[in-house]
């Protein structure tokens, strides 16, 4: 009897069906060859086992007792090969692989499944506490798209990051819509497009059986906006001066920074106070003018922010004070002082050497004296470096304030 490690048999069968269709199809099409399913995939065999993404040690651990030595060398040789190299390797090893169905199923059930469930829990904490169908669906996504996608940046992984946030917050009703939103990544004729729909439906079934409260919320959950649209809105909000919109990541998290910026924009433009994205919002963003910044703010200096109690300016002031003490200027430095130091120190050590040499001091004492001068110069240089970095931070803070980025 198979150990399903906490996922449902329906989820287990879903992955099998999506990876190889059926045992009969596997024996006919996949048993005696490695395949390269996509541009970023490695040589793949068994039940969706991507040898290109695994280390040689992992391949040996998973397959070493199940195939002969010659075939094991072929499988280990696929390690690290991706894209074009993977496709070439698959062609070169045609006829050298023979993985029977029972061996492929054994590796999938007893190695891949528990390992990927552990990886899933690492990247999507709380997934292990979901019902068997829901947990199995997230395993399917992790197995197909890489569990690290739940934490990867960028619009391509926006839905996976939001799923992770939903699991953490318990907002499970949003997850089926997010799974369907991933369909944007593939054409409607693609098997992966259909796989996402199958996963979404199984997740909904899992909510009904094991999370009834979340299932009851499904009719009231709006469709997830496409990440590309969210990126456009986030970009446009920042262009208009709504800098608190957060990172441009294609993610619209409930009660997050982007939603807050949308609400602020809607309020200032007399739109309905809804946190979502609709045609009315997109049209208003298109014709809106940037937020106006007062003339007083446009001409602000560091002293103005200092009077307002800016923490950043307080920190840069403190850093500049430390820099001045290292430099030996009594706690203060200026641009003129830094430039003068850079000019003067170029000849300081050689000048000291000539002056001391003219006094007839013994060589050992001369070495010690020159070493002292060098150490003092290093400390002074460190002071200059700290001061320059602090000054740049101060300038950036003032520049941001002048355009309205900070209060």
Residues 213-244 have pLDDT tens digits of: 999 999 999 888 888 899 999 999 989 988 88
Size (the chain), residues:
407
What is the model's pLDDT at position 48?
A: 93
What is the model's pLDDT at position 68?
A: 94
Model confidence band, residue 330 (pLDDT cutoffs 50, 70, 90)? low
What is the model's pLDDT at position 359?
A: 52
- Residue 216 CB contacts under 8 Å (≥ 6 apart), including other chains: none
Helix (H, G, I), strand (E, B) or coil at 369: helix
Indicate if the pLDDT at residue 266 is higher than 80.
Answer: yes
Model confidence band, residue 363 (pLDDT cutoffs 50, 70, 90)? low
Burial grade of 97 (CB within 10 A; 0-12, 13-18, 19 or more): buried
Tell me the average pLDDT across 85-103.
Answer: 94
Between CA 52 and CA 86 the distance in angstroms is 7
Indicate if the pLDDT at residue 343 is higher than 70.
Answer: no
Between CA 86 and CA 98 the distance in angstroms is 18
Tell me the average pLDDT across 332-349.
Answer: 54
End-to-end CA distance of the chain: 63
191-210 vs 9-20: helix crossing angle, rounded to 10: 180
Of the two residues 317 and 359, the one the predictor is more confident about is 317
The neighbour count for residue 149, using CB atoms within 10 Å, is: 21
Model confidence band, residue 395 (pLDDT cutoffs 50, 70, 90)? confident
What is the model's pLDDT at position 344?
A: 58
For the chain, give every domain's residue range.
227-287, 298-403
Between CA 278 and CA 229 the distance in angstroms is 10
Query: 35: which strand partners?
Result: 44
Between CA 224 and CA 176 the distance in angstroms is 9
Between CA 233 and CA 248 the distance in angstroms is 9
324 backbone dihedrals φ, ψ, rounded to 5°: -65, -40
Indicate if the pLDDT at residue 336 is higher than 80.
Answer: no
Of the two residues 313 and 364, the one the predictor is more confident about is 313
What is the model's pLDDT at position 123?
A: 98
Helix (H, G, I), strand (E, B) or coil at 22: coil
Of the two residues 385 and 26, the one the predictor is more confident about is 26
What is the model's pLDDT at position 203?
A: 98
Q: Are 185 and 156 in contact (CB under 8 A)?
A: yes
What is the model's pLDDT at position 355?
A: 55
Q: Are 48 and 20 in contact (CB under 8 A)?
A: yes
The kind and range of the H/E element at 45 are strand 44-45
Of the two residues 284 and 225, the one the predictor is more confident about is 284
Indicate if the pLDDT at residue 341 is higher than 60.
Answer: no
Of the two residues 345 and 157, the one the predictor is more confident about is 157
Between CA 7 and CA 289 the distance in angstroms is 52
Of 174-178, 213-217, 276-280, 400-404, where does mean pLDDT reach its minimum? 400-404
What is the model's pLDDT at position 38?
A: 72
Between CA 56 and CA 63 the distance in angstroms is 10
Tell me the average pLDDT across 378-392.
Answer: 82
Tell me the average pLDDT across 113-130.
Answer: 97
Q: Are 251 and 161 in contact (CB under 8 A)?
A: yes
């Amino acid at each position: 009897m198979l150990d399903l490690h906490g996922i449902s048999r329906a989820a287990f069968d879903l992955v099998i069906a999506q990876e190889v269709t059926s045992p009969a199809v596997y024996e006919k099409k996949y048993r005696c060859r490695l395949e390269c399913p996509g541009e970023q995939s490695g040589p793949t065999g068994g039940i969706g086992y991507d040898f290109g993404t695994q280390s040689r040690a992992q391949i040996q651990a998973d397959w070493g007792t199940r195939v002969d030595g010659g075939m094991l060398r072929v499988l280990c040789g696929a390690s690290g090969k991706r894209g074009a190299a993977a496709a070439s390797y698959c062609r070169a090893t045609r006829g050298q692989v023979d993985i029977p169905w029972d061996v492929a199923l054994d590796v999938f059930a007893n190695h891949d499944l528990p390992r990927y469930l552990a990886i899933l829990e690492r990247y999507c904490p709380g997934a292990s506490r979901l019902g068997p169908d829901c947990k199995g669906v997230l395993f399917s996504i992790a197995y197909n798209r890489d569990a690290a996608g739940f934490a990867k940046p960028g619009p391509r992984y926006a839905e996976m990051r939001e799923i992770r946030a939903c699991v953490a917050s318990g907002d499970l009703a949003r997850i089926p819509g997010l799974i369907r939103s991933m369909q944007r990544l593939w054409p409607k004729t693609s098997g992966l497009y259909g796989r996402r729909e199958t996963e979404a439906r199984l997740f909904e079934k899992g909510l009904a059986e094991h999370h009834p409260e979340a299932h009851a919320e499904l009719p009231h959950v709006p469709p997830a906006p496409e990440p590309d649209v969210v990126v456009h809105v986030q970009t446009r909000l920042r262009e208009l001066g709504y800098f608190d919109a957060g990172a441009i990541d294609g993610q619209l998290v409930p009660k997050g920074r982007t939603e807050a910026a949308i609400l602020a924009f809607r309020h200032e433009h007399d739109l309905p106070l809804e946190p979502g994205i609709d045609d009315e919002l997109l049209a208003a963003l298109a014709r809106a003018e940037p937020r106006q910044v007062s003339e007083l703010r446009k001409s602000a200096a560091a002293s103005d922010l200092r009077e307002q109690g800016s923490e950043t300016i307080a920190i840069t002031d403190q850093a500049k004070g430390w820099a001045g003490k290292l430099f030996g200027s009594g706690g203060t430095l200026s641009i003129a002082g830094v430039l003068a130091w850079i000019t003067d120190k170029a000849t300081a050590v050689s000048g000291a050497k000539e002056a001391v040499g003219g006094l007839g001091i013994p060589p050992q004492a001369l070495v010690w004296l020159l070493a002292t001068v060098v150490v003092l110069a290093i400390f002074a240089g460190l002071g200059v470096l700290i001061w320059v970095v602090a000054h740049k931070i101060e300038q950036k803070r003032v520049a941001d304030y002048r355009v309205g980025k900070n209060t």
